[in-house]
């Protein structure tokens, strides 16, 4: 499967659109809480894990935009959080992938947390 197919809009996938920020809550004192919502179980197949990683990457790209910075200021791990609302019955590999991504996200100006409560 080519990357183009992996990253295309897919309404049947738990992560349907990689090119939108699901939720961005701008904080009054600077920074944001940005949410990735995966409301149905995510499997551990290559396509799903690539889509999850790409979604995080797109959020990190958004942090560098003029739009984000005009609303939220310069992001840093203390004031900017990417919170992945991951269905609790998702494959363990999705949780592991996110755990391994914490330092990468931090080095790009945000903290990364996983929340399984809906």
Please write the tens of the pLDDT for every residue from 30-53. 999 999 999 999 999 999 999 999
Neighbour-count burial for 91-115, b at 16+ CB within 10 Å, e otherwise: bebbbebbeebeeebeebbbbbebe
Please give the model's pTM, rounded to 2 decimal places: 0.95
Which domains are delineated in the chain?
3-115 (3.40.1350)
Categorize the per-residue pLDDT at 2 as very low, low, confident or very high, splitting at 50, 70 and 90: low
Nearest CA among 98, 19, 30 for reference residue 61: 19
pLDDT at 3: 72
Residue 18: Cβ-neighbour burial (10 angstroms; 0-12, 13-18, 19+) = buried
Residue 1 in this model has a pLDDT that exceeds 80 = no
Q: Which two tokens stand for residue 33?
A: 């809480």
């Amino acid at each position: 499967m080519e990357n183009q197919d992996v990253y295309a809009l897919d309404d049947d996938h738990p992560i349907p659109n990689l090119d939108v920020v699901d939720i961005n809550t701008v904080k009054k004192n600077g920074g944001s809480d940005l949410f990735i919502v995966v409301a149905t179980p995510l499997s551990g197949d290559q396509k799903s894990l690539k889509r999850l990683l790409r979604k995080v990457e797109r959020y990190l790209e958004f942090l560098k935009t003029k739009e984000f910075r005009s609303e939220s200021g310069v992001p840093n791990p203390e004031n900017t959080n990417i919170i992945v609302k991951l269905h609790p019955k998702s494959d363990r590999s999705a949780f592991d992938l996110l755990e391994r991504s914490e330092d990468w996200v931090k080095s790009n100006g945000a903290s990364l947390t996983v929340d399984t409560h809906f």
